[in-house]
Chain A
Amino acid sequence: EAQVTQNPRYLITVTGKKLTVTCSQNMNHEYMSWYRQDPGLGLRQIYYSMNVEVTDKGDVPEGYKVSRKEKRNFPLILESPSPNQTSLYFCASSLLRNTGELFFGEGSRLTVL
């Protein structure tokens, strides 16, 4: 089954404790992206990747890092989480960056205390 898998789905952590949210897709997609969703603000893009070893900043990259060492994986790293990073995070992938269907994961709800 074609899917985008995120882990963990739920996480409560404390300020400053590094964490990684993993994202994996099994569709051989080149394009992958991370979004955060906050009430009243819609989805905002954090980082995206056009292919292996190619990543770029989205609208709200501050406080986040990503890597794309393999085509299927695109982890989101919070080196020193802060409470303003409490949010619902979605990973997505697509075969074609602008015209193709974006496939989304089920989301990871992160709370930073």
Chain B
Amino acid sequence: DAKTTQPNSMESNEEEPVHLPCNHSTISGTDYIHWYRQLPSQGPEYVIHGLTSNVNNRMASLAIAEDRKSSTLILHRATLRDAAVYYCILTFMDSNYQLIWGAGTKLIIKP
């Protein structure tokens, strides 16, 4: 099963862009790349997802490497409310349709 690798934690200053990396070197051609975040004491929240092309939405941007072995979640201007654990997840097109969640990256925002 394809898995993802993320740094355990990252720090950023408020109002600055944040680039959260994710490695998924064993990704298959039909796997989607999803990002979720979990704020303290809350359930995970969808951020963005993509397959091959870069994606933008109101929350963030997702940059996917040409070989799809890595991706980067970009928060353009981090605020204190963006402090959370960010999960990079691959979704499988096999019969189990499982999501494999790693430990995620704890993002710390400094005022």
To the question of whether A and B form a pair in one complex, the answer is: yes
Q: Spell out A's residues near B (CB within 8 Å).
A: 4, 31, 33, 35, 40-45, 48, 50, 56, 58-59, 90, 92, 97-99, 101-107
B97 adjacent to A104 (CB under 8 Å): no
Interface SS majority for chain A: strand
Q: How far is the CA of A40 from the CA of B39 in the complex (A)?
A: 16
B positions within 8 Å CB-CB of A: 32, 34, 36, 42-46, 49, 87, 91-93, 96-99, 101-104
**Can you offer 5 A-B residue contacts whose CB atoms are under 8 A?**
A43-B44, A50-B97, A90-B44, A98-B97, A106-B43
**Whole-angstrom distance from the CB of A41 to the nearest CB of chain B?**
8
Beyond A45-B98, A48-B97, whether A98 also contacts B43 by CB under 8 A is no
In the complex, the number of residue pairs spanning A and B with C-beta atoms less than 8 Å apart equals 53
A97–B43 alpha-carbon span in the complex (Å)? 18
CB distance from A6 to the nearest CB of B (A): 9
Minimum C-beta distance from A102 to chain B (A): 6
Q: Are A99 and B91 in contact (CB under 8 A)?
A: yes
CA distance A41 to B101 in the complex (A): 9
